[in-house]
């Protein structure tokens, strides 16, 4: 059965990076768009030990990160990917499907508008 995805949810899984490689471990992702067959996601990372990455213009710290992320987090604005929902059978939805704060989500979505 396919997962019901909602904009603002987080999930953990191994999604191919835009460069074609797979991560070595399950990574967190933020759902930023949903349609019948695809979702659009951004890669997310914890800030711990990587505070310097917040100075990179394509990274945005998520201030009100919990839910759905358990730790201080940033989103990689240049990591937008479109993924088939049918390819996402082995992912774990975070925090019972609870979504990111709507203000935070709006800031992120506006930052990635093309």
- 10-residue block means of pLDDT along the chain (114 residues)? 82 87 92 96 96 97 97 96 91 94 97 80
Identify which of 51, 40, 46, 52 has the alpha carbon closest to the alpha carbon of residue 81. Answer: 40
The DSSP string of 37-53 is: SEEEEEEEEE-TT-GGG
Residue 48: the pLDDT is: 96
Identify which of 4, 75, 5 has the alpha carbon closest to the alpha carbon of residue 40. Answer: 5
Residue 3: the pLDDT is: 60
Q: What are phi and psi of 103, to 5 degrees?
A: -65, -45
Structure tokens at 77: 């604005």
């Amino acid at each position: 059965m396919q997962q019901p995805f909602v904009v603002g949810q987080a999930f953990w899984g191994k999604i191919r990076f835009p460069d074609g490689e797979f991560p070595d471990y399950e990574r967190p992702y933020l759902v930023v768009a949903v349609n019948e067959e695809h979702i659009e996601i951004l890669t997310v990372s914890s800030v711990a030990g990587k505070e310097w990455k917040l100075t990179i213009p394509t990274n945005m710290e998520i201030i009100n990160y919990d839910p759905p992320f358990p730790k201080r987090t940033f989103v990689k604005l240049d990591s937008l990917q479109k993924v088939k929902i049918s390819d996402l059978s082995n992912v774990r939805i975070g925090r019972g499907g609870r979504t990111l704060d709507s203000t935070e989500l709006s800031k992120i979505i506006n930052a990635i508008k093309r």
